[in-house]
Chain A
Amino acid sequence: MKKEMTIEESFARLDEMVRALESDEVSLEESFKLYEEGMKLLKDVNGRIDEVEKKIRRIEEDGSTEEFE
């Protein structure tokens, strides 16, 4: 399986896509593909962030964690 892109890499890819869309380099069909791919990537990027407020976790020598405080 392809290695998952980091958020940074995703943003870099999105930059490319937007640039391509704004230029006339891509055909109309390709532009639809780019749009789809870009939207999927964005959803992906947004999905990376688990929007649950995090508490600091304390990590122990053995690598186990527990809530700090």
Chain B
Amino acid sequence: MNDIYSVGQINRYIKGMFNEDILLRNVHIRGEVSNCKYHSSGHIYFSLKDTSGTLSCIMFAGNRRNLQFPMKNGDRVICGGTIDVYERGGSYQLYARDIRLEGAGLLYERFIALRDELKEMGMFDKTYKKPIPKYAMKVGVVTAPEGAAIRDIQNISHRRNPYVQLYLYPARVQGEGAKTSIVRGIRVLDDFGVDVIIIGRGGGSLEDLWAFNEREVAEAVFACSTPVVSAVGHETDVTIADYVADLRAPTPSAAAELCIFDYEKFREKTERYAASLTGGTARRIERSKGRAEAILSSFRNITARRVIAARGNIRFYGVRLEALSPKNRINDRRRTLADTEIRISEIMRERIRANRERSRQTEEKMKNSEHRLLDAVTRRQLMLIERFKGLNPLDRLRQGYSYVTDEEGRAVKNIKSVHRGSAVTIHVTDGQIRALVRELEERKN
């Protein structure tokens, strides 16, 4: 055993070896991201792996500007940096300076750069956006003649409005010459004269869609005097052409929906307008008619009222005039007279009736009181008869009394009733004595 080294010495030695290696100082490594951790310090710890192994990586906060996408586990990336030894852990790792998405990575950076530049130039400004015509009759399409995009647009056009004329500029949409082809297509259709131009293609990788991220295409879209609708790839794919176009459609089908108006709805709309015009005019006429009728009817009413009033007046004055005619005045008087007569007789009848009634009542009353009186008299008589029983004057005669009557049979009550020589009859109990008055002698008191 010659030399014995400390751990630190060995690690330092190895570190020195790594550092002397030019390749390891600046290396690009392709791999899939795993164990990705964003530390609060701003450093990113992660691993790169492939089928054969794993490499620990760190990106210091100071290099974060060189990571322009939200890196996550599973991303396939290319990391540029230095392989160095971490002495404390006795391990080596990649100190990442920049990280790009594999393949797309570089293109993506170009995309970002161009996007920012064109935005800076104002090519995406809303003020430059042309409105998409609602009723385009001629629709230009720049896309691949054998692609899915033109089929989708064709189908939708057929369904919504088969009367819209589609013009296809058969363009190369990917690979060599694609951008030139697209630019040509835009210019040809713009010169030809269509209402709107759709540029696009179906889905694909970023590389496949790349032509739509080219500056030349962006400039052609911007310069086009016909409104341009971009429809590239799927909804999540956004290209430079999308930013600069007057309208971005998420897919070619959507672009067709936006550019080709629905014929049925159009028909309905025109029919609605026809109905509104007819109905509106009819209602307008009705309103006028209604007003005219109202005026007419109020005029009629006024006239009618006046006529009625006039008739009333005529009747009134007629009646008055007739009433004042001599004949009528006489009649009137007669009538009054007759009325008076009738009234008088009525009054008389009434009075007679009332008198009769009164006398009837009096009679009744008298009858009543007569009865009462009679009753009383009768009772008294009977009483007296009882009392005067035994007082019969004839009884008195038996006691020596007599009474005298004159020739006429009248009772002689005083000397004046007879004169000398008068024949008188003296009544006694058992008969009469006829006698002659011899002398009259008045008693002297």
Q: Is B274 touching A42 in the complex (CB atoms < 8 A)?
A: yes
Alpha-carbon separation in the docked complex, A46 to B268 (Å): 11
Q: Is A21 touching B284 in the complex (CB atoms < 8 A)?
A: yes
Alpha-carbon separation in the docked complex, A14 to B271 (Å): 12
One of B53-61, B82-90, B183-191, B247-255 contacting the partner: B183-191
Q: Is B163 touching A54 in the complex (CB atoms < 8 A)?
A: yes
Per-residue CB contact flags for chain B residues 260-292 toward chain A (1 = under 8 Å, else 0) read 000100100110011011101101110110000
Alpha-carbon separation in the docked complex, A32 to B288 (Å): 12
Q: Does B166 contact A (CB under 8 A)?
A: yes
* Chain B residues, Cβ within 8 Å of A48: 135, 137
Instruction: Among A18, A26, A32, A56, point to the contact of B273 (Cβ < 8 A).
Output: A18
Q: Does B167 contact A (CB under 8 A)?
A: yes
Alpha-carbon separation in the docked complex, A65 to B137 (Å): 16
* Chain B residues, Cβ within 8 Å of A7: 134-135
Q: Is B287 touching A54 in the complex (CB atoms < 8 A)?
A: no
Per-residue CB contact flags for chain B residues 314-346 toward chain A (1 = under 8 Å, else 0) read 000000000000000000000000000000000
Q: Is A46 touching B270 in the complex (CB atoms < 8 A)?
A: yes
- Closest Cβ of chain A to B407, distance in Å, is 137
- Take A28-B288, A68-B145 as given contacts and tell me if A21 and B277 are in contact as well, using a CB distance cutoff of 8 Å: yes
- Take A18-B277, A35-B278, A61-B188 as given contacts and tell me if A8 and B164 are in contact as well, using a CB distance cutoff of 8 Å: no
Interface positions of A from 1 to 36, Cβ below 8 Å from B: 6-8, 11, 14, 17-18, 21-22, 24, 26, 28, 31-32, 34-35
Alpha-carbon separation in the docked complex, A38 to B168 (Å): 36
Closest B residue by C-beta to A65: B167
Of the listed residues A6, A11, A59, A63, the one surrounded by the most CB atoms of chain B closer than 10 A to its CB is A59
Interface positions of B from 129 to 146, Cβ below 8 Å from A: 133-135, 137, 140, 145
Q: How many A-B residue pairs have CB under 8 A?
A: 98
* Chain A residues, Cβ within 8 Å of B5: none
Q: Is B168 touching A56 in the complex (CB atoms < 8 A)?
A: yes
- Closest Cβ of chain A to B124, distance in Å, is 26
Closest A residue by C-beta to B278: A35
Alpha-carbon separation in the docked complex, A21 to B150 (Å): 45
- Take A18-B276, A56-B167, A59-B169 as given contacts and tell me if A49 and B137 are in contact as well, using a CB distance cutoff of 8 Å: yes
Q: Does B298 contact A (CB under 8 A)?
A: no
Alpha-carbon separation in the docked complex, A61 to B169 (Å): 8
Q: Is A45 touching B188 in the complex (CB atoms < 8 A)?
A: no
Per-residue CB contact flags for chain B residues 116-156 toward chain A (1 = under 8 Å, else 0) read 00000000000000000111010010000100001000100
Q: Is B274 touching A6 in the complex (CB atoms < 8 A)?
A: no
Instruction: Among A18, A28, A34, A61, point to the contact of B184 (Cβ < 8 A).
Output: A61
- Take A6-B133, A8-B134, A58-B168 as given contacts and tell me if A50 and B189 are in contact as well, using a CB distance cutoff of 8 Å: no
* Chain A residues, Cβ within 8 Å of B288: 28
- Closest Cβ of chain A to B170, distance in Å, is 6
Q: Is B168 touching A11 in the complex (CB atoms < 8 A)?
A: no
Alpha-carbon separation in the docked complex, A11 to B283 (Å): 21
Interface positions of A from 51 to 65, Cβ below 8 Å from B: 51-54, 56-61, 63, 65
| Sample of 8 more A-B contacts, CB < 8 Å, known A21-B276, A24-B287, A35-B277 | A11-B273, A35-B280, A35-B281, A49-B137, A57-B166, A59-B167, A68-B145, A68-B168
Q: Shortest 6 CB-CB distances between A and B: which pairs?
A: A21-B280, A7-B135, A35-B281, A31-B284, A38-B277, A53-B162
| Residues of A that sit less than 8 Å from B by CB | 6-8, 11, 14, 17-18, 21-22, 24, 26, 28, 31-32, 34-35, 38-39, 42, 45-46, 48-54, 56-61, 63, 65, 68
